[in-house]
Amino acid sequence: MTAREDEASALRVLIYSHDTFGLGHLRRSRAIANAIVAACPGARAVIVSGSPVVDRYAFARGVRTVRLPPVNKLQDGSYVSGESAPLAATVAERSAVLLRTAEALRPHVVIVDKEPAGFHGEMVPVLEREAARGTRLVLGLRDVLDEADRLAPEWERKGAVEAMDRFYDEIWVYGLGRIHEPLAGLPLAPEVAARIGRRLTYTGYLRRDLPEPRAGRREPPIAAAPFLLATPGGGGDGAGLIDWVIAAYEADADLPLPCLIAFGPFLDPGIRAGFDARIAALPGRVAAITFDSQIEFLMRKATGLVAMGGYNTFCEILSFDRRAILVPRTEPRREQAIRALAAERLGLVRVLLEEDGQAPERMAAALRALPAQPEPSRVVVPGLLDGLEAVVRRVRALAPRGHAVPVRAIS
């Protein structure tokens, strides 16, 4: 077989990640793509993402990214174009990019992250064409979407259930049913519920490993000794967590471990300036960085974490066996709170809810107790971190005859 023929026969996977806000969808898609090309020799994966920071991440060999024109999510949950164009024009341009990318790749498997029809329906033309070609279509859902009474009207408006039932061969939930069933409570017709149920697989959570260190990687001096790490993910909605942690150090001068705060790339610059001024008055006790695309190294080194409880951070807490305090947001979705409280009931984390009061003393007491908190590994949950292995098995099973490949073990 020639090199060109070998390349043409390689397994090809297209991953769609709408990424209108934050880092979660991109980081989940990256973990899946990296696992597929690592475990399936010769496989190629293309991630099409709307994330404005996709270029700041490293990907495994065999993974390529295509960036969609950006859209921005406003505080009220509405969206605007990230460029000087009407939103409808930007969606049309994004849909055209998706069609061109799919046509160039001619994937064997398409994995769509979270949005069955894509952002404002932008994936529907691709799904229609790929379904006609016989491409295997997969919808990947995080463990928690939202409370059913909030999710149902949103999915009705988006035509999500119709798209899920019409297009997808399989639906993967990247979690465990004993923690949450993301589609439970939706008002589905019995025949639709039966079809979807037959396609549904709970994979387990997606295990994370340390990446290959970036050349010249440097860490802040505070990380050279035992420390706590506070991370609100992308930072666009994490100001409350950051404020609460800083207030705890302002209120309690005797907290035993210093804290490194990773603001996130989307924290409002004006709010950050105020935090910087307060941190400057706490030398040696609190330090801050803007963003670290290899934050896994800091997570692995930290004695404990304070985080909001997004999907990816939760996977990292489990993977690196870190003691953690979760401060989940509750608006505009309760996704993080549902996940955090379920994990707390299992004994995996501790939860502080902002709605119960943000007295600095509450956070200070939790930070003081964090180093003695049990690690998540003390709780045995079968299949908890089997997600990537399950994804690789299903991708291999979906590959058309002649493209099935041997699977290497995922380290």
- Classify 3-207+385-398 by CATH class: alpha beta
For the stretch 226-269, pLDDT in tens is 999 999 987 778 899 999 999 999 999 999 999 999 998 889 99
What was the pLDDT predicted at 71? 86
Query: How far is C-alpha 398 from the chain's CA centre?
Result: 24
What was the pLDDT predicted at 225? 97
Q: Which residues contact 119 (CB under 8 A, 6 or more apart)?
A: 18, 20, 50, 71, 79, 91, 94
Q: Nearest-CA neighbor of 260 among 315, 306, 316?
A: 306
Q: Is the pLDDT reported for residue 2 higher than 50?
A: no
Average pLDDT over residues 116-120: 95
Average pLDDT over residues 71-98: 85
Strands 63-67 and 323-326 come out as unpaired
CATH topology of domain 221-378: Rossmann fold (3.40.50)
Q: Is the pLDDT reported for residue 402 higher than 70?
A: no
Strands 136-142 and 259-262 come out as unpaired
What was the pLDDT predicted at 50? 84
Q: Is the pLDDT reported for residue 148 higher than 50?
A: yes
CA dihedral 118, 120, 125, 126 (to 10 degrees): -20
Looking at the DSSP bridge assignments, the partners of residue 79 are: 73
For the stretch 204-217, pLDDT in tens is 999 999 888 888 88
Give the whole-angstrom CA distance, residue 89 versus residue 325: 42
Average pLDDT over residues 74-95: 84
| Percent of the chain whose pLDDT exceeds 70 | 93
Give the whole-angstrom CA distance, residue 97 versus residue 191: 35
What was the pLDDT predicted at 248? 98
Lowest average pLDDT, out of 48-57, 65-74, 85-94, 297-306, goes to: 48-57
What was the pLDDT predicted at 156? 94
The DSSP code sequence of 99-167 is HHHHHHH--SEEEEES-TT-GGGTTHHHHHHHHHHT-EEEEEEES----HHHHHHHHHHHTHHHHHHHH
For the stretch 326-349, pLDDT in tens is 999 888 789 999 999 999 999 999
Average pLDDT over residues 297-313: 95
What was the pLDDT predicted at 266? 85
Q: What residue has token string 């939760």?
A: 314
Give the whole-angstrom CA distance, residue 250 versus residue 363: 11
What was the pLDDT predicted at 6? 45
Q: Which residues contact 75 (CB under 8 A, 6 or more apart)?
A: none
Average pLDDT, the chain: 91
Give the whole-angstrom CA distance, residue 99 versus residue 122: 10
What was the pLDDT predicted at 410? 52
Q: Is the peptide bond before 226 cis (omega within 30 degrees of 0)?
A: no
Please give the angle made by the CA atoms of 266, 23 and 277, to the nearest 5 degrees: 30
Give the whole-angstrom CA distance, residue 191 versus residue 197: 10
SS3 label, residue 373: coil
Cβ atoms of 344 and 351 closer than 8 Å: yes
The band of 403, judged by pLDDT with boundaries at 50, 70 and 90, is: low
For the stretch 187-199, pLDDT in tens is 999 999 999 999 9
For the stretch 314-326, pLDDT in tens is 999 999 999 999 9
Q: Which residues contact 156 (CB under 8 A, 6 or more apart)?
A: none
Instruction: Name which residue leads in pLDDT, 304 or 408.
Output: 304
Predicted model pTM: 0.89
What was the pLDDT predicted at 104? 97
The Cβ of residue 112 has, within 10 Å, a number of other Cβ atoms equal to 25
- Where in the chain are all domains bearing CATH 3.40.50.2000? 3-207+385-398, 221-378
What was the pLDDT predicted at 51? 83
What was the pLDDT predicted at 75? 66
Give the whole-angstrom CA distance, residue 410 versus residue 56: 24
Q: Is the pLDDT reported for residue 390 higher than 80?
A: yes
Q: Nearest-CA neighbor of 113 among 99, 98, 123, 105?
A: 123
Q: Which residues contact 132 (CB under 8 A, 6 or more apart)?
A: none
What was the pLDDT predicted at 377? 96
Q: Is the pLDDT reported for residue 394 higher than 50?
A: yes
Instruction: Name which residue leads in pLDDT, 237 or 393.
Output: 393
What was the pLDDT predicted at 265? 86
Give the whole-angstrom CA distance, residue 81 versus residue 88: 8
Cβ atoms of 260 and 223 closer than 8 Å: yes
| Percent of the chain whose pLDDT exceeds 90 | 76
Residues belonging to the chain = 411
What was the pLDDT predicted at 204? 98
The band of 404, judged by pLDDT with boundaries at 50, 70 and 90, is: very low
